[in-house]
């Protein structure tokens, strides 16, 4: 106890003491011992012998930073790339290899100890050690680059993230360490990093130890008790013991840092913290984040109290802690916090209704390899063979989801594991790497991260070539990359979809055990709301050519309708299905409206729906015409690239294509979604330069090989112009609806932008009572399309005609025509008075139609002879609420022309034979079908279909 008092005095004076590690083995003379006298090359050799990979030659030194991106107490962290293009962190001790200085040799042994322990950890919640290397004449540990930073920093930028879920995953990571005889010894927020897939990962094993060493370390190389005071268990502070698994549990219990964003005992000096810990005074319950009236909060707070027990034997094990966290999350799903007086915001894991419950998306040890499971109570078809796959082919990223009544009761599954990464990704880059002969060298992550290959061509963003304006004019935004020589947009789409689908089939087969189901599956392909029929048709043909559907019949020719298994659904409609099940839409009453804002990488699509049916069924219909625009997050990247090029125009070493792409990638991965707007005006954002030459020019922000950009400049030059376009688009859509909007739901990857959400709230919060970003918003389209395909009923079941659909026709003149429009009346060849320029309503404005419902209208046409079989029907639309009789009354706009050929009708041929030279009349019907993605015209006779066309607007 006297020694502890001396140590306490040291903390009071701001001093510390060093202690040797009692768990380190005494020095021996065996070949398996790392000692204080061993040269570095022998250390590396022994580490290699014990399965620690030497990746020195795998580093692409031209792509590795010259200056550290962060500094620690004993070393520096550099940003770099491997030869395969993967981004890595290079952690170097601040000592030089090959010197004789005693302190430097001691630190080299420290690094060797950390590498050895780290190399034994293989778990999705433990940062992977890729290997060891010599870098800048220093020993280095190489691991995947974690662009999201520490969990503390990540949660400060993403305050609505599921903190309890992350605590659970951290606990599973600790359980893995303990199961393998490893004590971490320094669990705290800065030592937990977050991957691109928002997975927390334990790191920093400098104070860790193994219970069983196959490689020995001398006493001088062991690690002392250097864990941070605020996370250190009382028995360790009092020096009654050293690092233990029970001590890890105590530190794990300090997860309040993850939940609150503040360090344990925030506001207290370390000396006061020590006194509180040894006296059993726990951190104060954060009522704002863990209110006492919430069952889940009470359960988790009770678990934290057990982790802080003064008696180490009374603390739960790591696996017990993880399992109890998981159970608490499942039994009591967390409700997103609401704020503001008039706007309710919901972000993750919201309740659905008293009859429809959702389980939040969880990582579990059994499921991390393949899929992300979301359980939702719903009506699923009893057809055991039914299988639905959705392909969300995006401008910047794409994903695949599937659902089957044979798998886990019909839960939506999403492919997370992709070639080229150890991480889980819901979506992967829509990217291809072509060789010089036009062959596909790589796709997805591997193509995006590939190092430049002479003669190769990286192809991205080719989906935008199918946008209506591009198809009409044959051009795209000049800032977008072109296509490889000899490749058409449709070729690139087919190539990418082929790669994506072939891999997806392999992954899905691991789950369902047979490919046969995929050959009979309905495949749903998502398209932007603003695409016209031509773009949808090209997309359909590309998907068929890529093999997304194929004949399932053993005998060729018997499966005649196999192409019909490929379905098109608009992105907002698919997102609406997802949101209808997973958000607080149950609060809306029939006749109320909600808007879907699908903010993706390339486009932002908007659609407004009305709740039509009962709350239990949540039947919804489209209220007005959908709209969309190319103002997605990709255009933030392009504006950022332009800004950097302007800032560095006098520094050509940093404005070559590779350098600009490097800056743009760094911005996209780190700051694009986390940027907070005016709050970040005084923040400076640093971006490493690709080239090491010309590292300094403070006048333009070049400092030590980094480009520094003020937050205010990023906001005004990059974010505000694009986000203003999104806000204007929402305003236009709301005005087009001309009805109150009761909820606005933001989905898509761009919806994760903190600044976008804030601006939407500011502009529309006073008019729209619920503004929400539902759970899994980034993959809402993909998940919704899969669910739509398997559901026993269509959620988006109706289309509310946003305007009237009218045809200009000739009708027999009546008394009203002779009175109002005598000039329009003439006699046909049969001598019958006909009034031209009359209007025939096919669909009235506001009519509620079932999706795909055929609205039929009878017509009769006079033909002079057998050759007079065709006519052009002009289709008009009108926003007028009143019915009009003549085309000159105004308020109509031409939508499209439809060439109708009556010669296909049997009745036409019969009438032609009977009519002789006097002509004849043919009776027929024209049908109009409105769906979420297209409007179709159908030629009918006696209920049979004789012709069909998809209208081009």
Helix/strand/coil (H, E, C) string of 815-861? HHHHHHCHHHEEECCCCCEEEEEEEEEEECCCCEEECCCEEEEEEEE
Tell me the sheet residues that pair with 77: 70, 91
Domain boundaries, the chain: 1-28+146-332, 31-145, 358-569, 634-720, 801-950
Is 876 strand, coil or helix? Answer: strand
The reported pLDDT for the residue numbered 42 is 63
Tell me the sheet residues that pair with 935: 930
The reported pLDDT for the residue numbered 217 is 40
What are the DSSP E strand ranges found in 528-679? 566-570, 593-599, 604-611, 620-622, 627-629
The reported pLDDT for the residue numbered 674 is 84
| DSSP string of 772-805, one letter each residue | E--TTGGGHHHHHHHHHHHBSS-SEEEEE-SSEE
Nearest one of 414, 492, 498 to 459, comparing CA atoms:
492
H helix intervals, 308-387: 318-331
Interior angle at CA 713, CA 710 and CA 716, nearest 5:
150
Mean pLDDT of the chain: 77
**How large is the angle between the packed helices 295-307 and 318-331, nearest 10 degrees?**
170
Is 35 strand, coil or helix? Answer: coil
Domain 1-28+146-332, CATH class in plain words: mainly alpha
Tell me the sheet residues that pair with 791: 380
Which are the contacts of 630, defined by CB distance < 8 A and separation ≥ 6? 464, 467, 477, 602, 603
Give the phi and the psi of residue 687 in degrees, each rounded to 5. -130, 125
pLDDT of 344 higher than 70:
no
Which two structure tokens, joined as six digits, stand for 933?
Answer: 């993605």
* Average confidence (pLDDT) over 30-56: 60
Fold of the domain spanning 31-145: Phosphorylase Kinase; domain 1 (3.30.200)
| DSSP string of 909-944, one letter each residue | HHHHHHHTTS-EEEEEEEEEEE-SS-EEEEEEETTE
Q: Of all helices (H) and strands (E), which one includes residue 492?
A: helix 489-512
Do 31-145 and 358-569 come out as alike in CATH topology? no
Could you tell me which residue, 382 or 631, shows the higher pLDDT?
Answer: 631
Cα separations (Å) of 186 from 236, 277, 884? 12, 17, 77
- The CATH architecture assigned to 358-569 reads 2-Layer Sandwich (3.30)
pLDDT band per the 50, 70, 90 thresholds, residue 378: very low
The reported pLDDT for the residue numbered 277 is 83
Fold of the domain spanning 801-950: Substrate Binding Domain Of DNAk; Chain A, domain 1 (2.60.34)
pLDDT of 536 higher than 80:
yes
Which two structure tokens, joined as six digits, stand for 389?
Answer: 């796959």
Please state the separation of Cα 687 from the chain's center in Å. Answer: 23
Could you tell me which residue, 666 or 824, shows the higher pLDDT?
Answer: 824
pLDDT band per the 50, 70, 90 thresholds, residue 636: very high
Q: Of all helices (H) and strands (E), which one includes residue 92?
A: strand 87-93
The reported pLDDT for the residue numbered 791 is 65
pLDDT of 205 higher than 80:
no
Nearest one of 90, 108, 113, 96 to 224, comparing CA atoms:
113
Which two structure tokens, joined as six digits, stand for 551?
Answer: 């004949």
The reported pLDDT for the residue numbered 363 is 31
Q: Of all helices (H) and strands (E), which one includes residue 572?
A: helix 571-582
Lowest-confidence region among 289-303, 307-321, 820-834: 289-303
Which two structure tokens, joined as six digits, stand for 719?
Answer: 């974010």
Please count the other Cβ atoms lying within 10 Å of the Cβ belonging to residue 520.
16
Which are the contacts of 480, defined by CB distance < 8 A and separation ≥ 6? 461, 464, 638
Lowest-confidence region among 98-112, 472-486, 670-684: 98-112
| CA dihedral sign, ordered 376, 382, 384, 388 | negative
| DSSP string of 243-278, one letter each residue | S-HHHHHHHHHTTHHHHHSS-TTTT--HHHHHHHHH
Indicate the pTM of the whole model: 0.56
Cα separations (Å) of 324 from 231, 247, 319? 21, 19, 8
Lowest-confidence region among 330-334, 596-600, 606-610: 330-334
Could you tell me which residue, 581 or 596, shows the higher pLDDT?
Answer: 596
Interior angle at CA 770, CA 764 and CA 775, nearest 5:
115
Tell me the sheet residues that pair with 714: none
The pLDDT tens digits for 739-795 are 899 999 999 989 989 899 999 999 999 999 889 888 888 888 998 888 887 665 554
C-alpha gyration radius of the chain: 33
Which two structure tokens, joined as six digits, stand for 147?
Answer: 């662009």
What are the DSSP E strand ranges found in 408-557? 413-414, 428-429, 431-434, 440-443, 457-460, 522-527
Which are the contacts of 397, defined by CB distance < 8 A and separation ≥ 6? 427, 428, 429, 430, 601, 749
Contact (Cβ atoms closer than 8 angstroms) between residue 22 and residue 242? yes
């Amino acid at each position: 106890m006297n020694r502890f008092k001396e140590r306490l005095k040291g903390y009071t004076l701001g001093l510390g003491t060093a202690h040797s590690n009692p768990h380190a083995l005494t020095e021996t003379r065996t070949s398996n011992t790392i000692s204080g006298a061993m040269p570095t090359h022998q250390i590396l050799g022994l580490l290699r012998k014990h399965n620690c990979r030497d990746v020195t030659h795998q580093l692409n030194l031209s792509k590795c930073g010259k200056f550290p991106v962060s500094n620690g107490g004993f070393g520096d962290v550099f940003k770099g790339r491997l030869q395969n293009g993967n981004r890595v962190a290079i952690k170097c001790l601040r000592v030089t290899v090959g010197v004789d200085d005693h302190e430097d040799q001691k630190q080299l042994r420290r690094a060797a100890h950390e590498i050895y322990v780290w190399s034994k950890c293989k778990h999705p919640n433990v940062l992977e050690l890729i290997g060891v290397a010599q870098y800048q004449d220093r020993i280095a540990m190489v691991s995947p680059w974690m662009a999201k930073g520490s969990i503390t920093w990540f949660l400060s930028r993403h305050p609505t993230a599921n903190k309890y879920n992350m605590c659970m995953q951290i606990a599973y990571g600790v359980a893995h360490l303990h199961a393998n005889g490893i004590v971490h010894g320094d669990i705290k927020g800065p030592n937990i990093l977050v991957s691109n897939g928002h997975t927390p990962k334990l790191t920093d094993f400098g104070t860790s130890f193994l219970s069983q060493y196959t490689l020995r370390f001398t006493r001088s190389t062991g690690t002392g008790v250097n864990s941070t005071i605020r996370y250190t268990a009382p028995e360790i502070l009092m020096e009654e013991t050293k690092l233990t698994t029970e001590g890890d549990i105590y530190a794990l219990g300090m997860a309040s840092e993850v939940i609150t964003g503040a360090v344990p005992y925030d506001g207290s000096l370390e000396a006061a913290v020590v006194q509180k810990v040894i006296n059993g005074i726990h951190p104060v319950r954060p009522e704002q984040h863990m209110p006492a009236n919430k069952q889940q909060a009470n359960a988790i707070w009770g678990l934290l109290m057990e982790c802080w027990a003064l008696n180490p034997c009374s603390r739960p094990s790591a696996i017990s802690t993880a399992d109890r966290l998981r159970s608490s999350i499942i039994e009591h799903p967390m409700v997103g916090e609401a704020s503001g007086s008039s706007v309710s915001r919901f972000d993750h894991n919201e309740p659905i209704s008293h009859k429809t419950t959702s389980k939040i998306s969880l990582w579990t040890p059994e499921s991390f390899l393949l899929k992300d499971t979301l359980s939702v109570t719903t009506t699923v078809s009893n057809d055991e063979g039914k299988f639905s796959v959705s392909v969300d082919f995006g401008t910047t990223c794409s994903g695949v989801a599937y659902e089957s009544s044979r798998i886990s009761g019909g839960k939506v599954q999403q492919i997370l594991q992709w070639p080229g990464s150890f991480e889980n990704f819901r979506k992967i880059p829509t990217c291809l790497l072509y060789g010089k002969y036009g062959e596909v060298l790589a796709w997805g992550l591997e193509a995006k991260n590939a190092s430049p290959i002479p003669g190769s061509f990286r192809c991205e963003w080719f989906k935008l070539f199918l946008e209506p304006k591009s198809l009409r004019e044959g051009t795209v935004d000049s800032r977008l990359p072109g296509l490889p020589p000899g490749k058409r947009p449709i070729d690139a789409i087919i190539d990418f979809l082929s790669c994506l689908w072939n891999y997806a089939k392999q992954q899905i087969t691991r789950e369902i055990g047979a490919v046969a189901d995929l050959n009979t599956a309905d495949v749903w392909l998502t398209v932007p709301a603003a695409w016209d029929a031509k773009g949808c048709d090209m997309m359909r043909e590309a998907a068929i050519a890529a093999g997304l559907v194929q004949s399932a019949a053993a005998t060729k020719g018997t499966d005649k309708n196999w192409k019909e298994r490929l379905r098109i659904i608009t992105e907002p409609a698919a997102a609406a299905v997802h949101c209808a099940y997973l958000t607080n839409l149950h609060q809306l009453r029939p006749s109320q409206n909600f808007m879907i804002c699908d903010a993706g990488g390339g486009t932002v699509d908007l659609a407004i729906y009305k709740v039509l049916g009962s709350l239990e069924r949540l039947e919804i219909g489209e209220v007005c015409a959908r709209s969309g625009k190319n103002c997605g997050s990709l255009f933030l990247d392009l504006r950022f690239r332009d800004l950097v090029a302007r800032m560095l125009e006098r520094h050509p070493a940093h404005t070559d294509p590779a350098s600009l792409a490097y800056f743009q990638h760094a911005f996209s991965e780190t700051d694009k979604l986390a940027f907070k707007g005016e709050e970040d005006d005084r923040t400076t954002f640093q971006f490493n330069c690709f080239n090491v030459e010309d590292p300094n020019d403070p006048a333009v922000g070049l400092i030590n090989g980094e480009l520094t950009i003020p937050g205010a400049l990023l906001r005004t030059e990059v974010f505000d112009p694009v986000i203003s376009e999104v806000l204007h688009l929402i305003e236009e859509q709301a005005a087009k609806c001309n009805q109150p909007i009761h909820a606005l739901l933001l989905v898509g990857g761009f919806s994760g932008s903190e600044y976008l959400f804030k601006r939407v709230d500011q502009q529309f919060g006073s008019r729209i009572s619920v503004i929400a970003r539902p759970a899994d918003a980034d993959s809402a389209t993909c998940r919704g399309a899969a669910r739509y395909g398997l559901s026993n009923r269509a959620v988006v079941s109706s289309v509310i005609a946003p305007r009237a659909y009218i045809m200009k026709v000739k009708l027999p003149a009546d008394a009203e025509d002779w009175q109002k429009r005598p000039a329009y009346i003439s006699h046909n060849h049969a001598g019958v008075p006909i009034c031209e320029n009359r209007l025939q309503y096919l669909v009235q404005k506001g009519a509620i139609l079932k999706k795909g419902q055929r609205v039929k209208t009878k017509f009769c046409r006079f033909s002079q002879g057998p050759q007079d079989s065709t006519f052009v029907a002009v289709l008009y639309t009108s926003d007028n609420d009143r019915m009009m009789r003549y085309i000159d009354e105004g308020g109509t706009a031409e939508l499209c022309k439809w060439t109708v050929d009556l010669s296909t009708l049997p009745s036409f041929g019969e009438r032609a034979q009977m009519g002789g030279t006097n002509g004849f009349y043919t009776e027929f019907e024209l049908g109009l079908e409105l769906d979420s993605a297209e409007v179709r015209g159908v030629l009918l006779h006696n209920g049979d279909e004789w012709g069909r066309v998809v209208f081009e607007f």
